[in-house]
Amino acid sequence: MNTSVLVINCGSSSIKYALIDSDPNASRLAGLAERLGSSEACLKGNTSSGKRFTQTLPNADHAEALKAILERLEGRVPGAVGHRIVHGGEHFTQAAMIDDHVIDAIEATAALAPLHNPANLAGIAATQDVFPDLPQVAVFDTAFHQTLPPRAYRYALPEALYTEYGIRRYGFHGTSHAYVSQRAATLSNRGAGGWLTAHLGNGCSTSAIWNNQSLDTSMGLTPLEGLVMGTRSGDVDPGLHAHLHRQLNWSLDEIDNVLNKQSGLLGLSGLTNDMREVEDQALAGHKGAKLALEVFCYRIAKSLAALSCALPQLDGIIFTGGIGENSPTVRRNVLALLPHFRFSVDDVANEATIRGKEGKVDNADHHGPEVWVIPTDEEGRIAMETRHCVETSE
């Protein structure tokens, strides 16, 4: 097949795209169409010479935005399209060529991801209109975690809720956890042993990976479970929902909105969901920001310690995502809370590893588990899985 893959990540009002060649040295054309459906809709991206562009697309819908994206591919024609699909339920353990059955299965899973799957499906439909002859592949955020054993994926709820309604833990950020753990296995002398991964961005999750297989992860039925995130609460007492309803008369939508959009770093700091600002304000002595940073790091450490139970041995930990890649402070604070794991951080390397740098940030002469910072490449991983899926189906 033609080796370049157009990776598409459709949200309800946005399309993130990247045209990725199989040659890792070839330049990537990438960008984001956002605020679709509004008068402020626009497309931003880069050219192959590295220049940035912004194009206004007033009131454009997904199909119009895709046509504008196509014109920005500088005449390069992709050989396939890879779609990031948030929820694949139990149907998908790996990427799948998109056909009517796959679309039906993604639709059937929409109840588990009501914000994401319908937008992903709209993206598939619009892309099929624009590229009717290209193979299209669905790559699922949940698929990598389909190796979780029952002890990790079952909630302690009546069995019928699982067997009849699919209520179980699925996990997300699968392409990121898969990419960074396989990259660490390649770079480190330890190989594919036992790795803990911390994807820390606007959404945050941890994972325990043994021999390239996910054995446990912090997100669950939805991406709300687990760590403190930009605006998401992560774990709360499951009794909280009933309490808020009974005591404050909040509706389900209000509760959902508060836990997903007004909590996390934003809720704790009272200021912002942006970790850069939280760190700056914490340094300046802002009480809310200090607390937000403290709770954020403590909950990551607690989650990593818990996930270590899934691994027969611990070879190392990997930080990734906007915060994991760029915040020496968060990495240092998290590791300081795990002294019994015998990590040994090289402070100079830790401070210097930011802005897309990949590297090991522990002291080379110690014998404990390693500490890596690996910039994630979800688009690159989706392109790789898309290519593999097309080639094996030919």
Report, as residue numbers or ranges, the catalytic residues.
141
| Residue 194 β-bridge partners | 210
Q: CA-CA distance, 82 to 62, in Å (whole number)?
A: 16
Q: Determine the residue type at 291.
A: L
3-state DSSP helix/strand/coil % of the chain, to nearest 5: 40, 20, 40
Shortest distance (Å) from residue 295 CB to ligand AMP:
15
Binding site for ligand AMP (CB under 6 A): 201-202, 230, 274-276, 279, 321-323, 326-327
Beta strands in the chain, from DSSP E residues, in sequence order? 5-10, 15-20, 29-34, 42-46, 52-56, 80-85, 96-97, 136-140, 194-200, 204-210, 213-217, 316-320, 359-360, 370-373
**Closer residue to ligand AMP (CB): 127 or 205:** 205
**Closer residue to ligand AMP (CB): 279 or 358:** 279
- In terms of Cα–Cα distance, which of 32, 15, 9, 321 is closest to 138? 9
State the pairing for strand pair 52-56/80-85. Answer: unpaired
Shortest distance (Å) from residue 204 CB to ligand AMP:
9
Shortest distance (Å) from residue 365 CB to ligand AMP:
29
Q: How far is CA 65 from CA 54, 56, 58, 384, in A?
A: 13, 10, 10, 24
Shortest distance (Å) from residue 164 CB to ligand AMP:
35
User: Does residue 130 contact residue 143 with C-beta atoms inside 8 Å?
Assistant: no
Rg of the chain (C-alpha set): 21
